[in-house]
């Protein structure tokens, strides 16, 4: 057994020790002595605080210690540590538009997967597959979305933290065609967070096909761009970006792309606040790009280098073609990495893990608290009865 937050349990041990120590300090009547006069003696029971060899109220002490330890253990989130194996795998499966050979992709994953491995499917986002993985893997199909290896690697790190208690070492396996569009500026830095070497399984063909048509760009000067709608509130935004090209300028936004208009297409340019500035949709053998970026004839915006790079980014090939362009060899080498398997100690345990024992421990603490109330009430009633009997005896003696 291990604790996800052991600090709470250590604090409860200290509190329990303090409770035991306090029960060795008792209040009792002092030894009687002869006084020269009794005029100034108050008419109350004389008591004093002194250490004892045996704890007072043993049952109360046990209930209080049980209450503190159960509550502390519940807050510490105990988990039963499973028996560890030699190695486990985190398998990244590319289901983006680049993975066109779905049969080869599924066969590769099924051949690699073992019970206990974590499987992460990714396109533009990444998610850990759950449930009956044998059936889930056979049902995998590529989507129409662009792949994002950075998001997949981040999810793999979290999956590694979940597997760290099941194996002594972890292996990263990436099943993908490794298209160039799936890598971005952050991919290399995120990959370095996973120590050791990764096993790369290339599936499908990421070789450029014969051009299927150049993109047709629709960029009206003042009329409504295709697929766009009038903005409810016309405003000004300070910049726009496409791929790595960023243009900083004051743009008067009159049009916007509603979510329905983006469905079935791809955002190829965004304003600095994240709203789509240009979208692409397939059309015929190629694609059409609708741009809602106003360009004024006043000033030098149209001839600036950053704006020319922006236009070049909007003029790239259609996504159906860029999806199969392979990544550079040096990028693939960085993804593969060097060394052996990643040790389990390289992954932090998840602080938000679930503890199945915690609710039972809290129930035990609650039961101990209720039992303490009943014991204290019985002690109080017994003391009151004893006091009444003593008073009656004294009255009869007088």
User: 206 vs 87, which has greater pLDDT?
Assistant: 87
pTM: 0.62
Q: Strand 118-122 to strand 286-291: parallel, antiparallel, or no bridges (unpaired)?
A: unpaired
Q: CA of 65: how far to CAs of 53, 72, 74, 364, in Å?
A: 19, 11, 14, 12
Tokens of 359: 């609710």
pLDDT greater than 80 at residue 375: yes
The whole-chain average pLDDT of the chain stands at 84
CB 324 within 8 A of CB 209: yes
Report the distance separating Cα 377 and Cα 383, nearest Å: 10
> Residue 30 pLDDT > 60, yes or no?
no
pLDDT 10s digits, 56-80: 678 888 888 888 888 888 888 787 6
pLDDT, tens digit (0-9, with 9 covering 90-100), for 176-186: 999 999 999 89
How far is it, in rounded angstroms, from Cα 148 to Cα 94? 9
Residues 280, 319 contacting (CB under 8 angstroms): yes
The closest of 153, 143, 145, 141 to 184, measured between CA atoms, is 153
Contact call for residues 1 and 164 (beta carbons, < 8 A): no
Structure-model confidence comparison of residues 201 and 59, the more confident one: 201
Distance CA 94, CA 175 (A): 6
- For the segment 29-48, the average pLDDT, to the nearest whole number, is 55
- Band (pLDDT 50/70/90 cuts) for residue 165 is confident
- How much is the pLDDT for 256? 95
- Angle, CA of 349, 355 and 356, to the nearest 5°: 150
Contacts of 64 (CB under 8 A, 6+ apart): 19, 368, 372
The residue with tokens 């916007």 is: 256
CATH number of 85-207+324-346: 3.40.50.410
pLDDT-derived band at 55 (thresholds 50, 70, 90) equals low
Task: List the alpha helices (DSSP H) in the chain.
Answer: 6-22, 58-75, 102-112, 133-138, 149-163, 187-191, 259-262, 305-314, 319-322, 329-336, 358-397
- Judged against a pLDDT cut of 60, whether residue 346 lies above it is answered with yes
pLDDT of 352 above 60: no
What percentage of the chain has pLDDT greater than the value 70? Answer: 85
pLDDT value, residue 299 = 85
Concatenated DSSP letters for 214-263?
PPEEE--SSSPPTT-EEEEEEEEEEEEEETTEEEEEEEEEEEE--HHHHT
pLDDT at 112: 93
DSSP 157-179: HHHHHHHTTTEEEEEEEEEE--B
Kindly report, residue by residue over 263-300, the tens digit of the pLDDT: 888 899 999 999 999 999 988 888 999 999 999 888 89
Q: Could you state, in order of their start, the residue ranges of all structural domains in the chain?
A: 2-80+356-397, 85-207+324-346, 215-322
Q: How far is CA 210 from the centre of its chain?
A: 42
* pLDDT for position 213: 65
């Amino acid at each position: 057994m291990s604790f996800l937050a052991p600090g709470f349990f250590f604090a409860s041990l200290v509190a329990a020790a303090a409770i035991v120590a306090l029960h060795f300090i008792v209040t009792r009547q002092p030894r009687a002595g002869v006084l020269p006069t009794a005029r100034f003696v108050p008419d109350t029971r004389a008591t004093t605080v002194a250490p004892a060899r045996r704890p007072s109220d043993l049952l109360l002490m046990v209930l209080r210690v049980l209450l503190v330890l159960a509550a502390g253990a519940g807050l510490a989130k105990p988990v039963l540590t499973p028996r560890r194996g030699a190695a486990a795998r985190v398998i990244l499966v590319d289901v983006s538009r680049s993975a066109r050979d779905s049969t080869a992709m599924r066969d590769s994953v099924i051949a690699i997967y073992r019970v206990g491995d974590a499987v992460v499917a990714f396109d533009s986002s990444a998610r850990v597959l759950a449930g009956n993985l044998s059936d889930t893997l056979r049902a995998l199909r590529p989507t129409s979305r662009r792949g994002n290896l950075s998001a997949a690697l981040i999810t793999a790190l979290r999956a590694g933290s979940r597997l760290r208690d099941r194996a002594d070492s972890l292996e990263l396996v990436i099943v993908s065609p490794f298209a160039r569009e799936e890598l971005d500026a952050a991919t290399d830095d995120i990959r370095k967070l996973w120590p050791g070497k990764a096993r790369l399984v290339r599936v499908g063909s990421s070789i450029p096909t014969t051009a299927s048509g150049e993109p047709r760009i629709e960029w009206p000067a003042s009329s409504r761009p295709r697929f766009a709608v009038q903005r409810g509130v016309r405003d000004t935004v300070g910049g726009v970006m496409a791929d790595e090209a960023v243009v900083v300028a004051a743009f008067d936004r009159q049009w916007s792309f509603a979510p329905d208009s983006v469905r079935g297409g791809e955002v190829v340019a965004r304003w600095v606040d994240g709203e789509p500035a240009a979208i692409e949709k397939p059309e015929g053998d190629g694609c059409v790009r609708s741009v809602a970026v106003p360009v004024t004839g006043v000033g030098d915006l149209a001839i600036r280098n950053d704006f020319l790079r922006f236009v070049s980014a909007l003029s790239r090939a259609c996504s159906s073609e860029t999806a199969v362009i392979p990544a550079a060899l040096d990028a693939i080498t960085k993804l593969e990495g060097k060394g052996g398997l990643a040790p389990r100690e390289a992954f932090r345990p998840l602080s938000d893990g679930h503890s199945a024992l915690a609710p039972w421990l809290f129930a035990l603490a609650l039961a101990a608290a209720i039992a303490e109330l009943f014991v204290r009430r019985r002690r109080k009633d017994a003391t009151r009865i004893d006091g009444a009997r003593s008073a009656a005896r004294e009255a009869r003696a007088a």
